[in-house]
Chain A
Amino acid sequence: MTAARPLLRHIWVVFLLLAAVAPWIVSPYELSLLGRFLALSILALGLVLVWGEAGILTLGQGVFFGLGGYVLAMHLKLAALTPGEIPDFMTWSGRSELPWWWQPFTSPSVALAAVIVVPGVCAALFAWAVFRRRVVGVYFALITQALALCFATLLVSQQESTGGFNGLTDFSTLLGFDFAAKGTVWTLYWITVAFVTLAFLGLRWLMRSRFGTMLRATRDGENRVRFLGHNPTPYKVVAFTISAMLAGIGGALFTLHAGVVSPALVGVVPSIEMVIWVAVGGRGSLWGAIAGTLLVNFAKDEISSALPDAWLYVLGLVFILVVTLMPRGVAGVIEDAFRRLRPGSPGGKVAAVTSPAGGAL
C-alpha cells in the first residue's frame, strides 16, 4: 500500500522460506507446536478481516474453529473403525447405532468439504440474521460470546454423540496416511504452511480490492455508507463468513496436529484468547496476526509448563498492556519504528488501516 516500505514488503518471503525449512531445524516437539500454532494463525488471519478491517468484534470464533475441527474428527474416528463398528465412546454411553448425522462423514471428501462448508453456512446464516437487524458493536460481541457458550455446552451435554467433555481423539489415519509416521507429520506441517500462505495472500488481495475499501468504510461510518446508497449488510456477512471458513480450516488442521478436538478448545475462554492473539499482533496487519498468534501461544506453552496457574493472569495483563500502550499491536510498533528510520516517508495508509475502529472494543 505504501510505496516507502520496500524492506517490509518482501520480508514475508524470508519468513515463508524459514517456515518451509523448519522441520530440519527445530526439534519434533517444537515442530508439532509450530504446526498447531500456524493452524491457529489461519483463524487469526480471518479475525484481521472481520475485526481489523470491518471493525466487527467477534467473541465466538471458537464455534467455527470447533465446527471445522469436529467434522474432520468425526471422519477420523470413523476411518479408524471396521465397517459396522461405532466409535468406542458411543458404546460406553449405551448407544448401539451411529447417529444419522455422523453417517455422511464416512466419506473423506464429504468431511474435507464440510470443514469449509459447515462453518461457512452456519456463519452466513447467523451473520445475515444479526447484521440485517443492525446489531452492532458490543451487542454483537455479546451475542457471539453467548453462541460460543451454547456450542461448548451443547458438545458437553450430548456425550453419546459428541464425545462430551473429552471430545474426539485417538485418530490413526487420514486418507490412509499414518499419523505416527514422520513423513505424515512433515507433510501435514507443510500443508499448514501452504494454507497460511494462501490465506495471507488471499486476504491481502481482498483487503486491497474495493471490497476491502467498503469494509473499512463501513467500519468508519456504517450510516454514511448506507446513505451513499450501499447496503452494508452483505459486506459484513461476507467478511464474517470468510473469517468463519478460515477458522474452520484452522480448526481442522489444529485437530490433525493435536490429535484431539474438545469443548475446552472452542468455548468462551478460547474464543477470547483468539481475539487477544490478534490484538497483540495488531489487528490491522495480516503478518501481525500470525506473529501475535505464534508469540502468545509459545509464551503460553512456556509459562503453562513453568507456572501452570499463572497463564490466565499473564494473558489478562498482556491484553490490558497491549490495549492501553500499543493499540495497534506488535505490528504497529514495528511499522512505526520503520517509519521513523525513514524520515520523510508519509504516514500513508498504514496508520489508517490500523487506527482503532470506533466502538469495536
Chain B
Amino acid sequence: MSAVPTAANTQLLLAVDGVTVDFDGFKALNGFSMTLDRGALRVLIGPNGAGKSTLCDTIIGRVRATSGHVYFKGEDITHLPEYQIVQRGICRKFQMPGVLSSLTVLDNLLIAARSDRRWWRSMTAAASPAERARADEVLEQVGLIERRDMLAGELAHGEKQWLEIGMVVATDADLLLLDEPTAGMGPAETSRTAELIHSLLGRHAVLVIDHDMSFVEQLGGRVTVLHQGQFLKEGSVAQIRQDPDVAAVYLGRSEH
C-alpha cells in the first residue's frame, strides 16, 4: 500500500507509509500506514505495547524508522532532526507532563509561541506583542489564565497536562500529537480535555493516543486500532466498539 501524497491531494496533511521500527528484532511497528487530513481528528487506540507511542516517536523523529517513510505536507520528513520536524508544523505532548517547572506558566507558553527560533535573537528580542497575545489566547483556551504567573512546577497534575497541551497548541503546529492527554485525570477533567481538543479542530489536526474508552467516546471522530505494530481496524467509535477483531484484541482487559 502506497500513501505517497501528490500535489492534487492538498487536504492530506500526514501520510505514514509502511513504517517499520525494529528494536533489535522486536518490531514495535510493522509496515504501518495511515493518513490524516488537515484539521481532522484521529484517535489511535490499541492494547499496551501495540506501538502507539512508537508511532508518535517516529513521526516527530525521536525514533527512526527502520524502513518506510513519513510524509508531512508532501515532504519526506523521515530523516529530519526533531526540531526541524517541529518547525515544519508537528508538535507533540508527551505521556508524562513535560512542563518547564522552574519557569512561569506564561514563560512556558512564550517559549512555545516563539516564532523566531534563531538563538542569537533571544539575546535582544523580547517576546513580540503577537506572541504575548497568542500566549494569552492559549491560556484562556486551556483555562489557565489565572495561573499565568505561577511556576509551572507548582501546578496540579491536571493543570500541568493542560499547560503542556497549551504549549503544543501555542506553537501553531498544523498537527498536534497528544499522547494520553488525560492520564491521571478525573472524569470532570477528562471531559474538559475532550472539549478542549474539540475546540482545536479545524485550525489544527489532532492525533490522540489513549486507551480510556470513555474518553475516546467523548472525543468521537475516527478511530484507528493498532495491534502488535500493525494496522487492525479503522472506523467510527461505534463501529470499532462492535468489531469482533477489536474485541478479541482487548479480550480479558475490558475497560468498558
Contact = CB atoms under 8 A, between A and B. Distances in A.
A217 B60 contact: no
Contact of B83 (A217, A220, A230, A355): A230
Interface in B88-122: 91-92, 94, 98-104, 107-108, 110-112, 114, 117, 119, 122
Given A216-B100, A228-B91, A235 B83 contact: no
A219 B126 CA distance: 20
Interface stretch (A80-88, A171-179, A203-211, A337-345): A203-211
Interface in A80-136: none
B127 A210 contact: yes
B75 to A, nearest CB: 16
Nearest to A220: B100
B67 interface: no
A229 B127 CA distance: 16
A9 interface: no
A28 interface: no
A235 B83 CA distance: 14
Chain B residues touching A, range? 35 or more
B180 interface: no
A10 to B, nearest CB: 24
B125 interface: yes
Interface of A is mostly: helix
A136 B83 CA distance: 18
B202 interface: no
Contacts of B159: none
B123 interface: yes
B167 interface: yes
A64 B241 CA distance: 65
Contacts of A209: 122-124
A211 B124 CA distance: 8
A210 B87 contact: no
Nearest to A211: B122
A352 B119 contact: no
A223 B122 contact: no
A224 B82 contact: no
B117 A210 contact: no
B58 interface: no
B151 interface: yes
B171 interface: yes
Interface in A209-252: 209-211, 213-214, 216-217, 219-221, 223-231, 234-235, 238
Nearest to A234: B119
Interface in B134-166: 151, 153
Nearest to B87: A229
Contacts of B63: none
Given A220-B103, A352-B103, A228 B119 contact: no
Contacts of A206: 123
A4 interface: no
B196 interface: no
B83 A214 contact: no
B34 interface: no
A226 B83 contact: yes
Nearest to A236: B119
B92 A214 contact: no
A216 B100 CA distance: 8
A225 B107 CA distance: 12
B86 interface: yes
Nearest to A354: B102
Given A206-B123, A217-B107, 12 more contacts: A209-B124, A213-B110, A214-B122, A221-B99, A221-B100, A221-B101, A227-B83, A228-B86, A230-B114, A231-B119, A235-B122, A352-B153
* Smallest CB-CB A-B distances: 8 pairs: A229-B86, A352-B102, A210-B122, A224-B98, A234-B119, A220-B100, A211-B122, A231-B83
Interface of A: 206, 209-211, 213-214, 216-217, 219-221, 223-231, 234-235, 238, 347, 349, 351-353, 355
